[in-house]
C-alpha cells in the first residue's frame, strides 16, 4: 500500500505525462522486483504497464484473468518468475479523479 501511495504522491506532484513515463519505465524508480506501478484512466484505458507496453492505450475495462475473474484478486503474468501465471492481489488509489495508480503482490 505504501508503494502505491508513494506513486500517488509522485503523480500529484508531477505532470501526468512525466508520471506516466516514470511508471512505464521497467528499470525506473517505481519498479522493485515483482512490484511495479500500473495506471489506468477510469474508462479502462491502460496508461502505464511497464512489462506489457503493447497494452498501452488499450481499453481493459472488460478484461478478466485466466479463470474469468475480474481484477482484484486475479491471475497475472509475473515478470520476476519468467512471466509464469501467478495469483495476484491488487490495490489502487485515485490520482485526480481522471486516473488511478496501483500495484499488486503475487501470493
Specify the CATH number for the domain of residue 36. 3.30.450.20
Q: Binning pLDDT at 50, 70 and 90, where does residue 90 land?
A: confident
Q: pLDDT of 49-77, one tens digit each?
A: 999 999 999 999 888 877 887 665 778 88
Q: DSSP for 33-80?
A: TTEE-EEEETTSBEEE-TT-GGGTT-B-TT---TTS--SSEEEEEEGG
How many structural domains does the chain have?
Answer: 1
Q: For all residues of the chain together, what is the average pLDDT?
A: 91
What is the residue range of 21's domain? 2-106
In this predicted model, which residue has the larger pLDDT, 64 or 8?
Answer: 8
- The model's pTM is 0.85
Amino acid at each position: 500500500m505504501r508503494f502505491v501511495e508513494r506513486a500517488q504522491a509522485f503523480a500529484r506532484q508531477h505532470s501526468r505525462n512525466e508520471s506516466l513515463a516514470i511508471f512505464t519505465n521497467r528499470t525506473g524508480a517505481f519498479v522493485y522486483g515483482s512490484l511495479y506501478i500500473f495506471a489506468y484512466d477510469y474508462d479502462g484505458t491502460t496508461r502505464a504497464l511497464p512489462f506489457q507496453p503493447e497494452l498501452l492505450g488499450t481499453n481493459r475495462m472488460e478484461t478478466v484473468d485466466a479463470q474469468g475473474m475480474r481484477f482484484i484478486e486475479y491471475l497475472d503474468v509475473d515478470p520476476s518468475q519468467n512471466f509464469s501465471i501467478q495469483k495476484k492481489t491488487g490495490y489502487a488509489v485515485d490520482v485526480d479523479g481522471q486516473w488511478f495508480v496501483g500495484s499488486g503482490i503475487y501470493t
